[in-house]
A and B are shown apart, each in its own frame.
Chain A
Amino acid sequence: MVVDGIGASVKRKEDLRFLSGRGNYVDDMNRPGQAYGHFLRSDVPHGKLNKVDISAALKKPGVIAIYTGDDFAAVGGVPCGWQIHSKDGSPMVEPRHPVLAAGKVRHVGDPIALVVAETKQQAKDAAEAIILDIESLPAVANLTAALAPNAALVHDEAKGNICFDWHIGDKAAVEAGFAKAHKIVRLDLTNNRLVPNAMEPRAAIGDYDVSSGEYTLYTTSQNPHVIRLLMGAFVLGIPEHKLRVVAPDVGGGFGSKIFHYAEEAALTWAAAKVKRPIKWTADRTEAFITDAHGRDHISVAELALDAEGHFLALKVDTQANMGAYLSTFAPSVPTYLSATLLAGVYKTAAIYAEVKAVFTNTVPVDAYRGAGRPEATFLLERIVDVAAREMNMDRVEIRKKNFIPKDAFPYQTPIALQYDSGDYLATFDGALKAADYAGFEARRKAAAAKGKLRGIGISTYVEACGIAPSAVAGALGARAGLYEVANIRVHPTGSVTVFTGAHSHGQGHETTFAQLVSEQLGVPHDMIDIVHGDTGKVPFGMGTYGSRSLSVGGSAMVKAMDKIIDKGKKIAAHLMEADVHDIEFKDGKFSVVGTDKAKSFGEIALTAYVPHNYPIEELEPGLEETAFYDPKNFTYPGGCHICEVEIDPDTGVTQVINFTAVDDVGRVINPMIVEGQVQGGVAQGIGQALLEHAIYDESGQLLSGSMMDYTMPRADNIPNIFVGTETTLCTHNPLGSKGVGEVGAIGSPPAVINAVVDALRDYGVRHVDMPATAAKIWSLIDANQPKMAAE
């Protein structure tokens, strides 16, 4: 029997190395003969780059070379991996994103020059000697400024700063719904801009082997094969067999390390020029002004309801900030990853959404934990709460009334997606019970007696992850496939190495994936190694994001192991002189059904590699299989989050007192890791809801550009988080798993804000945009104080 297979809370195999300081991150790596790179960056938000004079800098001690935008004129620009078409059928405006700024600088942090020197300090010294002639231009630092008439243009070819003007859904059906509505509820919302702030800043080493002509890029990436494809094929023109990308231990990504960044291309290219490895490690300031930011949407939502509170139609108009250039997956975030989720867990009959993507003089914006789905969920769960209040309905009742019932699956939403499975009432009831929703009024009274305003908020959500199948993703604009790859190598003595295209940067794959193998092949954990993050070892893969690693990557492993078992059966049949159909594989043993004849997994592996007594005519020796798994559909985790807060009316400070998450993530492989993923996601969601905000001033300077001003959530901001699961299985992948990486960050922000608004219900507050900082809450309380006194 497998004791640490599927369903066991196996302790994370990787933690010993992480917790004892033995992780191997890019900055821990040093190549022989390594030089150091430093990027001189623009501190001007928008400007004409008249001249970059490097003559004095070149003479500085230790300088090996200095490159500027001109040097990269002949290579490709940093590509975008997703193409959206506007309403009128025209492709999105896709301006060239030069590796180093050419002609113009477009945001603070835009790289202008790469200085390569013997030491990091020498590179910095030389960068200070570069003389820049930048003619400052008016900047558009936010959506409103960029869309204003006669606004300055970030790219001349993007008129009105519009990248695309897209829509989805049935406009006529929505209008019909509105025409017969009993009530139309409108809500204007802002989804605040966030800085990802992975603990490990980005780092890279470009390396070039003069004798073989091979390039190697060591980089902090969630998907080394994608980087190889984008950088090799689109930017530098290096064929795959001459380019290896290694992403070793990576200290958190949250989406920000999916994308191909200009620094990677610049360092790889320059390494071949100077014929030495070049290392660069971002400092925290660089991380703030160069890692792709998240969110930054402004939306107007309108929900039409009938007299009983059924949702008839939903109309959404969104402006999405793309930043100064299109980052790798940016166009997909507000469109196919967000607007398509606007049905949520509800039977809303008609939905229509419009999205304008807009260029601004800010850091590019792209996927950040949840990517589009938190934006959709926030919008929906806020407007449902407002609708309940304005219809004089209970927040629980209005949700129950509109849930997609569990017997309606597979459920086709009016907005493209088909949900395969779910039971929203089960997670809802589970959460209400776990949170003691029924007992809340007593807790509110007790808090009031202490002078605190207590509120409770609910959010019910569904999300879509493991984007697939590739053909559909392609039709929606993806410029890559979205399958996953596993190569299972069984060694002669029966130990196993799994080569996976997924990448672990905190998710615990080395443990979870080993559990899958242990379960299916009956091999103990210490005989299984998971290898990821190296295009030189792993056949191929699309990496880790969108909660896809288990549902897509794990499924590929299952398929590859199926092939291993099939082959093993043939070998076993030969050895035991039985018919292959009579061979059964269970608990690590191949046995002949109905007899006591059996061969262990190890014996079969040895036979495969020492094929003395072997069906060599029909079967190749060896025991190694590869599977490419392309899913049939997305997976649809869902659930219910309930948040309870207390507000101190004297200071406006909101403290989260209780947080309950009951999620349906499909089959759970490791409950402890699932709990950790949900807790981490909820912590980020509380951060977005109450604390985090990337604020640009009008001129385009990032005001919250350091930890002194950007409020990360800390331990004392986060309560104990109750995590429960209610499971329905994914119907179309072999594991039945749906994904858990993002649910916490998707479900939680509206639960927090719904609780805050509930706490402020006596102050006539209808909506609070994120982050609900103490200052913001206090000013709402202050503004409504006279009315309270008068009442």
Chain B
Amino acid sequence: MYDFTYAKPANIADAVKTLAADAEAKALAGGMTFIPVLKQRLNKPSTVVDLSALGLNYIKLEGGKLIVGAMTPHGTVAASPEVKKALPALAELAGNIGDRQVRYRGTIGGSLANNDPSACYPAAVLALGATIKTNTRTIAADDYFQGMFTTALNPDEIITEVHFPLPEKAAYAKFANPASRYAMVGVFVAKFASGVRVAITGAGQNGVFRHAAFEAALSKSFTPDALNGITTPVDEMNADIHGSAPYRAHLVGVMAKRAVAAAG
């Protein structure tokens, strides 16, 4: 990696100030994505702003919502009794991210800020219609994800919390990329009184997306069979050495059915 200045601010205002002061300054959360990028010299920040002292590592239930602080590691979410009770699908999702070391370091804020097209959390956030709170505003999930590695965040903006509404039923089904074990296709289904939301990660060319046809069918009947015969457009799918676009389109259907079955 290249040399950089390291800062560990004690509050959000200082963190934002440090980030705003320099266009080349960058935030560091768990470092699971950022540190390898630095090691490979693919990024040359002037200052690395460590967010770990901002007090953003917490989980709470408030006003019928599950609130997760941006610096909460995946392992903490997975093990949390509150999450397991209020939103078990989220605990399950977090518990299947990466390996033990990654879950110990990687954070929900880092995952959402990065918006890797194969990451798991974006599917949950979008399907649950969560809101992302930053140091300046609140962003609805539907407005937040804007394509691979692209989000509504401004350069100096820091994610502070994620607010999850609690569904009646929800589940995440992940078909792991055989090498990286990220999601090659991940489907999160969430059933609310108002209807069903379905978000797909890993498969699409533009990152996480909602599946309108699945949502319509499942809102009528929340059963795996309700998805019979509904296809996913192949030309919107990703293709790489691990799977063709038709394979991914097919897996979207298979994983969606498995998610619905798991949600019960």
Contact = CB atoms under 8 A, between A and B. Distances in A.
Interface in A741-779: 773-775, 778-779
A704 B41 contact: no
A773 B180 contact: no
A742 B254 CA distance: 39
A708 B176 CA distance: 12
B40 A711 contact: no
B179 A711 contact: yes
B203 interface: no
B242 interface: yes
Contact of A779 (B1, B179, B180, B247): B247
B211 interface: no
A710 interface: yes
A423 B53 CA distance: 68
Interface in B172-203: 175, 178-180
B221 interface: no
A782 interface: yes
B241 A709 contact: yes
B179 A707 contact: yes
Nearest to A774: B178
A773 B41 contact: no
Contacts of B247: 652, 775, 778-779
B244 interface: yes
Interface string A474-491: 000000000000000000
Nearest to B255: A651
B251 interface: yes
Contacts of B254: 650-651
A711 B3 CA distance: 33
B259 to A, nearest CB: 13
Interface in A74-133: 121, 124-125, 128
Given A285-B40, A709-B241, A778 B250 contact: yes
Nearest to B40: A285
Range for the number of chain A residues in contact with chain B: 20 to 34
A695 interface: yes
B179 A708 contact: yes
A703 interface: yes
A691 B176 CA distance: 13
Contact of A773 (B2, B40, B242, B246): B242
Contacts of A773: 178, 242
Interface string B228-255: 0000000000000111101100110010
Interface in A209-243: none
Contacts of A779: 244, 246-247
Range for the number of chain B residues in contact with chain A: 10 to 19
A711 B178 contact: yes
Contacts of A121: 1, 3
Contact of A651 (B242, B246, B251): B251
Taking each of B1, B178, B241, B247, which has the highest tally of chain A beta carbons within 10 Å of its own beta carbon? Answer: B178
Contacts of A712: 179
B180 A707 contact: yes
Contacts of B251: 651
Interface string B135-158: 000000000000000000000000
Contacts of A124: 41
Contacts of A651: 175, 251, 254
Interface in A467-508: none
Nearest to B253: A650
B179 A710 contact: yes
A269 B202 CA distance: 49
Given A775-B242, A775-B244, A779-B247, A709 B40 contact: no
A6 B243 CA distance: 50
B249 to A, nearest CB: 11
A691 B241 contact: no
A707 B251 CA distance: 23
A704 B178 contact: no
Contacts of B246: 779, 782
A708 B242 CA distance: 11
B241 A695 contact: yes
B30 to A, nearest CB: 17
A707 B242 CA distance: 13
Contact of B179 (A128, A704, A775, A782): A704
Contacts of A710: 179
Interface in A628-665: 650-652
A703 B244 contact: no
Contacts of B1: 121
A414 to B, nearest CB: 41
A125 B3 CA distance: 10
A524 to B, nearest CB: 41
A743 to B, nearest CB: 26
Nearest to A712: B179
Contacts of A125: 2
Given A773-B242, A778-B247, A691 B41 contact: no
Nearest to B99: A714
B224 to A, nearest CB: 11
Nearest to A125: B2
A387 to B, nearest CB: 32
Contacts of A693: 241
Contacts of A707: 179-180
Contacts of B241: 693, 695, 703-704, 709
A778 B249 CA distance: 12
Given A285-B40, A773-B242, A691 B178 contact: yes
A775 B180 CA distance: 15
A695 B180 CA distance: 16
Contacts of A782: 246, 250
B66 to A, nearest CB: 30
A660 to B, nearest CB: 25
Nearest to A707: B179
Interface string A696-725: 000000011001111110000000000000
A703 B240 CA distance: 9
A695 B246 CA distance: 21
A711 B41 CA distance: 24
A695 B247 CA distance: 19
B41 to A, nearest CB: 7
Nearest to B39: A283
A778 B245 CA distance: 12
A120 to B, nearest CB: 11
Interface in A438-485: none
B33 to A, nearest CB: 11
B92 to A, nearest CB: 17
Contacts of A775: 242-244, 247
Nearest to A713: B178
B250 A708 contact: no
A774 B242 CA distance: 9
Contacts of B179: 704, 707-712
A88 to B, nearest CB: 40
Interface of B: 1-3, 40-41, 175, 178-180, 241-244, 246-247, 250-251, 254
22 contacts: A121-B1, A121-B3, A128-B41, A651-B254, A691-B178, A695-B241, A703-B241, A704-B179, A704-B241, A707-B180, A708-B179, A708-B180, A709-B179, A709-B242, A711-B179, A712-B179, A773-B178, A775-B242, A778-B247, A779-B246, A782-B246, A782-B250
Cβ-closest 8 pairs across A and B? A711-B179, A775-B243, A708-B180, A711-B178, A650-B254, A775-B247, A709-B179, A703-B241
Given A121-B3, A782-B246, 5 more contacts: A128-B41, A651-B254, A709-B242, A711-B178, A711-B179
